[in-house]
Amino acid sequence: MTIIVNHATALDQRTFQSQDVDHIPLIIVDLHLMKITGDNRSLGMAHFKNPRKTTVYVIFFTKKEEGTKVNEVFDLLNSLVQIAPKQPRPKSLLILLDKCSHEKLKAILKYAWSLKFLDLSILKLNAKNKTTFNSYNPFTKSYLHGARTIFPDKLIDVKHYPMKVDGFTMKPYFTIDRNNQTSGSHFNYVKTIIKTLGFSEVVVMKNHSNVEEFTESVIRDLEKNELTISTFAFYSWRFENRDFVQGNFIDISQMSIITPIIKTTSVYFSFVILLYILSFPLIIFVFAMVSKVLKFDSKIWSILFIFQVLIGLSSPVMLRKSYEKGTFLLISVLSIIYLNLFFSKFADMQFVVNELELNTAKDILDSGMKVYSAFSNSSPDPYESNSLFSKAEKVDIHEECVKKVIETQFSVCIAPRAFAKYSVKNNVDSKEEPIMKISEVSIRPGYNHFALEKASPFVEKLIESSEKLKSRVL
């Protein structure tokens, strides 16, 4: 418990030294004294970093002769916000020690909601000197006076309260069809959670030329509370210092490498075929020499004539001499044996079509292919593919990256795994065969989280709903 006072006179600290409360861990913060001394070291304690999960604020507002001044309460609430500006506000009980009209109460409660205080109640004395709890329900736009519960659960029925979500045409994460219906892998997930809790979604379309510009625009809107939740999951490590709330873990996303399918043809044959081919001119030469030695008719026994007989053609002229006929018969028989053996070995020849192996970063680098990516390559990467990512030529959007692979057939694209799978599936040739594939190399593994607006009051319920959804899917 954190006791916060706007002035030391607002509280008799001896109250908290009794045995009734000494077992409760608490810290007392005097904002007035802190302002005077400039000593705000107590606000650096661990439980102030995410107060929603670690503490409950009990705020005492000092008595004043002129009654409660609304602007001073506003200043006090703003001071509490500055303790942990981007984290969800803790449950807070504001105790007013003097009279306060209903109009002032309403103004304070509505202003507290504008600062994202969902569970803020005011304790005050009514006209009968009895304490009453007062709170504001932003979903029904009603003020609760005299409630018995300090922090009523306002998220039981949110009356289809609108949640602003981002929209940006990026398949498969977010798409809009001809009927203006929105869908997509991440969007459907967020939409299911929102509908389960009873909210409605209002899509705020983003028109930007590249991925990083879109991402930065979404984060700025979350920081300014102009968006409620992003429909696109972010790498948690990239934006841990930005002023938005990190939602729950969704999945481990890896950047994948899309490569073209490059086919090479390999020929496998017996070495004996080479011997046959090399021996063919030798046989011709031997018979040519025989014809000269035996003084065959040179007009008939040319090298061309011997070649024709060896390949199985008939003699173009009638041979008259018996020894010429015998030699012709010998060449013909040899031709039959030779051609039979040659073509039997030739029939065993194999033509094998293989895909070019690009399974490691070294394979891709050695191939000389150009590397493209829509993401910045400035972040450090401890993996083997660091050198690969550092060579990437930046493009504006993932679709342009894939287009480079298709058009050149000699480049690779680094993109998120979900987008890579979608692209490979939806880009095929005329035979419905894929023209790209995903390399086994995966780089920049990161934990994806959804992002919520700064100080989002819905974090707990959204995470709870998300975990239930994942459990049902499993």
- Give me the mean pLDDT over the 130-144 stretch: 90
pLDDT at 450: 80
Contacts of 77 (CB under 8 A, 6+ apart): 108, 111, 112, 115, 117
* pLDDT band, residue 445 (cuts 50/70/90): low
* pLDDT band, residue 378 (cuts 50/70/90): low
Q: Distance (Å, rounded) from C-alpha 424 to C-alpha 437?
A: 6
Kindly give the pairing relationship between strand 263-268 and strand 142-147.
Answer: unpaired
Q: Give the torsion through C-alpha atoms of 35, 39, 42, 46, to 10 deg.
A: 110
Q: What is the pLDDT of residues 78-128, one digit of tens each?
A: 988 988 899 999 999 998 877 778 898 999 999 999 999 999 999 987 667
Work out whether the CA dihedral 421, 427, 431, 436 comes out positive or negative: negative
Selection from 42-46, 124-128, 258-262 with the highest mean pLDDT: 258-262
Q: What is the pLDDT of residues 185-221, one digit of tens each?
A: 778 888 888 999 999 988 888 777 677 788 888 889 9
Concatenated DSSP letters for 21-62? TTTS--EEEEHHHHHHH---GGGGSGGGTSHHHH--EEEEE-
pLDDT at 458: 92
Looking at residue 29, its amino acid is: V
Residues in the chain: 474
Q: What is the pLDDT of residues 323-376, one digit of tens each?
A: 777 888 888 888 888 778 777 777 777 776 677 778 777 888 888 889 998 876
Domain ranges of the chain: 2-147, 162-252+450-473, 258-263+356-446, 265-350
pLDDT at 380: 47
CATH assignment of 2-147, among 2.60.40, 3.40.50, 3.40.1350, 1.10.3470: 3.40.50
Lookup: tokens for 181: 């219906």
Lookup: tokens for 344: 């039997």
Q: What is the pLDDT of residues 270-321, one digit of tens each?
A: 777 777 778 888 888 888 888 888 888 777 888 888 888 777 777 677 777 7
Burial zone of 457 (CB within 10 Å; 0-12 exposed, 13-18 middle, 19+ buried): buried
Q: Distance (Å, rounded) from C-alpha 127 to C-alpha 132?
A: 10
Contacts of 216 (CB under 8 A, 6+ apart): none
φ/ψ of residue 41, rounded to 5: -60, -30
φ/ψ of residue 211, rounded to 5: -65, -45
Asked whether the predicted pLDDT for residue 65 surpasses 60, the reply is no
Residue with tokens 């053609």: 313
Query: Which CATH number describes the domain made up of 162-252+450-473?
Result: 3.40.190.10
